[in-house]
Amino acid sequence: MKIKFFTLYPEIFPGFLGYSLTGKALAEGKWSYETVNIRDYAFDKYGSVDDTPCGGGAGMVMRPDVLGAALKASYTGGRLVYMSPRGKPFNQAKAHELAGETEISVICGRFEGIDERVLEAYAIEEISIGDYVLTGGEQAAMVMFDAVIRLLPGVLGNDESALEESFEDGLLEYPQYTRPIEWEGRTVPEILLSGHHQKINDWRKEQSLTITKNKRPDLFKKYLDSKKV
């Protein structure tokens, strides 16, 4: 997978994507990245990339001529997305969808956002990682790609690991335990020590159902609704 970040702060990347599993995958060539400094396409000697919003209001807006010039010069095709609080919510299903792409370009906004005309001209897909506002799209992009890159073939080592994680089947993950078997008076549930795989699977499914119902009733309702279809 090739990822291209359009940003005002190229030095941010790869950030935490350069560590752990995603960092190892980067070193192994399972994914690569390129940064495009939007400021390189400014038209004045000050490197201005923003201006006041038409109609008034607080903050600044990224100029369409500057961002448009950056896209015209460096966007070479593939999926084009913009990290935005008003975008469609990012979830595990979307992570799988993006993991199937070979080339993704992502615009990391700043200020109050980017001029709407750029979104229209390039039919840019807007994606949100949550109902909150960050100082820039770089952080959001890295969070999104952390979820995506780990789904690429060979990144997790054991590809089956991804199938048992939270959200994969619409439920939160069951509790996990390891050694020591007893810790500060608390013991690992006996069923997990039984060696009976079917009973263990049944216990884990029951735990996932209970945890999802208690902690994320919204997800639990979606899960029940999906079973009615």
Residue 118 in tokens: 């750029």
Domain boundaries, the chain: 2-149, 166-228
pLDDT in tens, 146-197: 999 999 999 998 665 665 666 778 899 999 999 999 999 999 999 999 999 9
CA dihedral 85, 86, 92, 98 (to 10 degrees): -100
Query: Which CATH entry fits the domain spanning 166-228: 3.30.70.380, 1.10.274.30, 1.10.1270.20, 3.90.25.10?
Result: 1.10.1270.20
Mention the CATH class of domain 2-149.
alpha beta
Give CB contacts under 8 A, 24+ apart, made by 65-72. Answer: 66/38, 66/41, 66/42, 67/6, 67/38, 67/41, 67/107, 67/114, 67/115, 67/118, 68/118, 68/121, 69/41, 70/6, 70/36, 70/38, 70/40, 70/41, 71/6, 71/107, 71/118, 71/122
H/E stretch holding 150: none
pLDDT in tens, 57-104: 999 999 999 999 999 999 999 999 999 999 999 999 999 999 999 999
* pLDDT value of residue 168: 75
